[in-house]
Structure 1
């Protein structure tokens, strides 16, 4: 596997030798000093170019980056699906190589770059032939810090969490596994993850990022809470699904109540009690029941 220095040397060499490329900058985890380095980090690279057409017409130029395992062209896919995409201004090649390295490369015109360049605090200039890249402060992940909630946001998260649990419960009881699993994954888990993120943010004065999709939850949660969080995942067995559901409720309750106390919010304890009682009843309800209770 080519190492980091080899990859950067290659990325710069290609840019230096191609007159169409006028500048290079980088986004993503490799610009974040708070992210641990590993071999799976992408190289999120942008080439500022004179135009995109010639790059798109002859794609053989990307072969210079290495032996390709697979390529995705997201803007092309969006365009073919009817999306409102300006291929003349911005185009991407997400490239996975046979040695395991990955480059997410975008080519952008100068006009497009000037609109986007300062929109992400995780940005580092690498190369500039024409001094066209605007001056920016040092890279920081502040744009990704957990934002302190207002009470309305907190109430909405709690209310939606407890309300939508009934849908998961009836899906389990009906043995509608796809419905129950997706209701949990697409509605309940995002609310749990929001509370987890707020709780983590609260521990660090809301100057921290728990990572994309909570990938650093295990770093910032206490050992107890991380073990509980892992228990919110289950297999397809009904008994295990119920266990994970109640564990989800317990974790949500503990963290949400701590947030309420710290931020002087009101935790909806009655919704919690009533829905928890409802869930226990549904769990014990015979499959052939004619009435609910």
Structure 2
């Protein structure tokens, strides 16, 4: 009577394959290699390394300039009671430059902001004592250049010329002097920068001015050639005239910040106090 229900012939829980699949046996368990590094967390991918900014070197540059200016100013302020010690313009320039280079190497600035000292012949032909350059990464090609010419107090320069007559110069220096005799040192620097473009600045660095002989100042511009076009003579009085009517003097760091943030091709002229 009634419907006959057939029973299964085997217990599924007695089936080793079925039981193994339930508990994650060898057939379904993924294999792990102990040498395989763990996958990074999804949150770690959100933390990206900071991108280096073009202006990151500016504080270090300011520290180097501060050290060089302070060291040089010691010699500008020093007065020998016996009146025997008279540092020459060349010595003062070398003190500033060597102190700057030493400090920039210590702060590992040279991979980002380079300094190239000119040979005596280059100084005469180009009008530059050294050239600073903001370097591109990773090529290290110069992106921005600043050609620096140091101007000393007239009495120091006159004493230097009298102490070193032309006949004591090397043959290569004398040839360079003849090649560039038709232009002043100021005009050579301006021509050199103009030949490169608006990303090259001429910086006239005053180791003492007429009304302040104990401090270091600078006039920087990428547009000095406009004065040549107006038939103006570029000389020391012309450059010093930029300070007249100037209500604000930049710091060296402020100068560099203005340079790196300027729009490409725009003219820029600044007055700076270095000490």
TM-score range, shorter chain: under 0.3
TM-score after normalising by structure 1 = 0.21
